[in-house]
Every structure is written in structure tokens, then in C-alpha cells.
């Protein structure tokens, strides 16, 4: 049984993302756009050395709900996730599983008025971060309950940090160049006691390792 669950965001944390988002998988050339970010492999390897730890990738993929991207189906989004994990594995890093949220919520629609959305995928679901659906998926996959594990969530957005706080875990913010302003938002969260602002994924991993002595 694991003692530590580490959930990691995908876009802008494990792999490069564009300012307006890549929506990976919306074209057929998406594999060429998968670029693992610096320190990610070393960070994952360091996390893999923590006894009793599991690593899950959790990713909001609202692009699946955008009508202008017909190739970005739920199945395609899964294919992209599996490919990212296999690329990381090829470089020596183990990720134990993943979940994705294919939904767009109301606030996403309001901030992306240039797109049309598939109504069946527009909802205020439990899985979209900072909701906890994907963290619970990981706990379930590992056969553990929340009470028996330490939970960390690593990401480049305030919603990743908030996900950690919502489950009573620790949020680790790793800044990404194309997500400006997120660090200020993280610093505005009232309770900073369960937040760590890391320099990169390796720093994030070392922070988690040290909190386990």
C-alpha cells in the first residue's frame, strides 16, 4: 500500500504548452509537439525513489469539448496522455497512471468566447481541477483511502495548488513561462502553510522527499 500520492499536472508542468494552449491532439502532428520540460525527468526519478510513493498525472483537457477541434476526441486525449507517459518512461521516469477531465465548465466558456462547445461536455463536473475527482481516481486505483496517504499536487496554475488544499494535501507550484500571473494568485491564497513554490520539478521532488524523513 502506498503512503504518498503525488498528482502532477500535464500541460506546462510535465510538457511544454503555448500561451493560448496547444490543445495537444487537435491535429495529426501532435506527437512532434510533445516536449518534456527541463528537470522533469530528474524530478520524476527522484519521486520514484521515495518508498511507498505513486505518481499520477491529472489533467484538465477542455479542448475535448471545443467543437472547432473535431480530432481532439476523448479517445485522442487519452492517446496523448498515454504517449506523454511512455515518453517519460523511455527516459527512465515512472508514472503510475493518469486521469483526464474532458469537460468545460461555465467559467471556461465565458473566458473562451471565440470557441463553440459540445454541449454534452459542458458541465460543472467533479473532475475539473480544483475539483477532486481525478485525485480520488488515483486513490481508488491504488486501493487506498484519503486518510492513509499524504497527498501532494504539483502544477503551474493556482487551480493545481487549490486542488491540493481542497483535499487537505500540500500544493506545489512550479512556475511556467507561458502561465504568467499564476504565482501572484498562488501567493494570494490565505493559508500558505501547505504551499511550496518550487523552482522546477526537481526542486519540487526534493521538497517532497525531505518532507518524508
Q: Which positions lie near Zn ion, rule CB under 5 A?
A: 101, 103, 125, 127-128
189 binds, among Mg ion, Zn ion, none (CB under 5 to 8 A by kind): none
Calculate the dihedral angle through the C-alpha atoms of 59, 81, 139, 209, rounding to the nearest 10 degrees.
-80
In the complex with Zn ion, the residue whose CB is nearer, 59 or 170, is 59
125 binds, among Zn ion, Mg ion, none (CB under 5 to 8 A by kind): Zn ion
In the complex with Zn ion, the residue whose CB is nearer, 61 or 182, is 61
List residues binding Mg ion (CB under 5 A). 9, 11-12, 156
In the complex with Zn ion, the residue whose CB is nearer, 26 or 103, is 103
CA distance 166 to 117: 28
CA distance 71 to 76: 7
Q: How far is the CB of 10 from Mg ion (least distance, A)?
A: 7
Q: From residue 144, how far is each of 67, 115, 139, 165 by CA, in Å?
A: 37, 39, 5, 19
Q: How far is the CB of 16 from Mg ion (least distance, A)?
A: 11
Count the neighbouring beta carbons within 10 Å of the beta carbon of residue 3. 14
9 binds, among Zn ion, Mg ion, none (CB under 5 to 8 A by kind): Mg ion
137 binds, among Mg ion, Zn ion, none (CB under 5 to 8 A by kind): none
In the complex with Mg ion, the residue whose CB is nearer, 53 or 159, is 159
Is the bond preceding residue 64 a cis peptide, omega within 30 degrees? no
Q: How far is the CB of 152 from Zn ion (least distance, A)?
A: 21
Count the neighbouring beta carbons within 10 Å of the beta carbon of residue 30. 18
In the complex with Zn ion, the residue whose CB is nearer, 80 or 127, is 127
CA distance 211 to 42: 18
In the complex with Zn ion, the residue whose CB is nearer, 125 or 189, is 125
Q: Which residues pair with 170 in a beta bridge?
A: 152
Task: Give buried/exposed letters for 33-55 (b at 16+ CB in 10 A, else e).
Answer: beebbebbbbbbbbbbebeebbb
24 binds, among Zn ion, Mg ion, none (CB under 5 to 8 A by kind): none
127 binds, among Zn ion, Mg ion, none (CB under 5 to 8 A by kind): Zn ion
Quick one: cell of 117? 462547445
Q: How far is the CB of 154 from Mg ion (least distance, A)?
A: 10
Q: How far is the CB of 129 from Zn ion (least distance, A)?
A: 9
Amino acid at each position: 500500500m502506498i503512503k504518498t500520492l503525488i498528482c502532477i499536472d500535464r500541460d506546462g508542468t510535465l510538457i511544454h504548452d503555448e500561451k493560448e494552449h496547444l490543445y495537444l491532439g487537435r491535429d495529426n502532428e501532435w506527437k512532434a509537439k510533445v516536449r518534456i520540460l527541463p528537470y522533469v525527468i530528474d524530478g520524476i526519478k527522484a519521486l520514484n525513489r521515495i518508498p511507498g510513493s505513486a505518481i499520477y498525472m491529472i489533467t484538465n483537457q477542455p479542448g475535448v469539448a471545443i467543437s472547432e477541434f473535431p480530432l481532439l476526441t476523448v479517445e485522442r486525449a487519452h492517446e496523448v496522455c498515454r504517449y506523454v507517459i511512455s515518453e517519460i518512461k523511455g527516459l527512465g521516469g515512472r508514472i503510475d497512471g493518469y486521469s483526464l477531465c474532458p469537460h468545460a465548465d461555465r467559467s471556461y466558456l465565458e473566458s473562451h468566447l471565440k470557441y463553440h462547445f459540445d454541449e454534452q461536455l459542458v458541465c460543472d463536473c467533479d473532475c475539473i481541477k480544483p475539483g477532486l475527482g481525478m485525485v480520488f481516481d488515483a486513490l481508488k486505483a491504488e486501493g487506498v483511502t484519503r486518510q492513509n496517504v499524504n497527498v501532494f499536487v504539483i502544477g503551474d496554475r493556482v487551480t493545481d495548488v487549490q486542488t491540493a488544499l481542497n483535499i487537505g494535501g500540500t500544493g506545489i507550484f512550479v512556475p511556467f513561462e507561458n502561465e504568467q500571473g499564476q504565482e501572484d494568485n498562488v501567493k494570494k491564497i490565505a493559508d500558505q502553510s501547505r504551499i511550496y513554490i518550487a523552482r522546477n520539478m526537481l526542486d519540487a521532488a526534493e521538497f517532497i522527499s525531505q518532507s518524508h524523513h
